[in-house]
A and B are shown apart, each in its own frame.
Chain A
């Protein structure tokens, strides 16, 4: 299945957002997520099913003004 992760095309076998984070080695990273422009809390990632063409955002703390 091909999805978009942080703006780039990504081929994955993960069927949930939770599984995608494990595949990316970010299961325990300090990140927050959104699917198709809507926030997905950490507690709901396992229930968040991925479909072909979905857009996923994975963000981390960064410098800001």
Chain B
């Protein structure tokens, strides 16, 4: 099971808390996903609104670790300020660092991400950087003090799965001991199983579960897929080959 910044987590699934049809469905989805970590954000609260407090009570009741994000931030300054507000609000040094670089793809701005990661690490944060599978960027993030990497599978909310298998495989091979989470772009449990088979430690989902017709059922499907994929990776799979090889013994045919 994965360990992030010295904290052991008894699940390979991280689940977002956004876009569910209702708080009750969110709670059901978490229960059936057996997720160990919930991602959350900070947002402006309007007037006498108590939505923030109500939401927080719901999350506290889930009994999972909380990973706040800096979603929606487009600059280093915004991300750093948001991270500090999140640390105080959620009482955790963990921060999922997102610095968005492009409006269409929501892909990270690698330059701003690296700078923000450096600043936050120096400020005592445990940074979980939302990054691409770029090997050089990931190496720089590790040099900056990140002890976890969160490469995307595909752009956020697309459900396209693992877009660059070669890049992800290469990243995994170069840093075999760094905890890595596939963050974003997964739509189906088979894609999550594949991520596990490639040797990734966890996956982070939100839209795939929240926007399924039956979110709690999909949450359970992902839980099973992640478990199956991790078992397969542990089992040391056979190497694929181009030519057929009979599985039934040839010797002794009548």
Contacts and interface: CB of A to CB of B under 8 A. Distances in A.
| A and B held together in a complex | yes
Interface of A: 6-7, 25-26, 29-34, 37-39, 41-42, 57-65
A29 B52 CA distance: 9
Contact of A60 (B51, B156, B206): B51
Interface in B33-76: 39-46, 48, 50-53, 55-56, 59, 68-69, 71
Contact of B43 (A25, A33, A59, A65): A59
B41 A62 contact: yes
A9 B77 CA distance: 23
B81 A65 contact: no
Main secondary structure of the interface of B (DSSP, over half): mixed
A59 B42 contact: yes
Contacts of A30: 52-53, 56, 89
B85 A37 contact: no
Contacts, number: 105
B155 interface: no
Contacts of A42: 88
B59 A59 contact: no
A32 B87 CA distance: 9
B71 A59 contact: no
27 contacts: A6-B44, A30-B52, A30-B56, A34-B85, A39-B80, A39-B88, A41-B84, A41-B88, A58-B44, A59-B43, A59-B45, A59-B85, A60-B44, A60-B52, A60-B56, A60-B89, A61-B41, A61-B52, A61-B53, A62-B51, A63-B16, A63-B17, A63-B40, A64-B68, A64-B69, A65-B39, A65-B204
B81 A61 contact: no
B18 A6 contact: no
A29 B84 CA distance: 17
A37 B90 contact: no
B148 interface: no
A33 to B, nearest CB: 7
A57 B69 CA distance: 17
Contacts of B122: none
Nearest to A25: B48
B18 A64 contact: yes
Nearest to A42: B88
Contacts of A33: 85
A65 B156 CA distance: 9
A65 B40 CA distance: 6
Q: Which of A29, A38, A58, A64 has the most chain B CB atoms closer than 10 A to its own CB?
A: A64
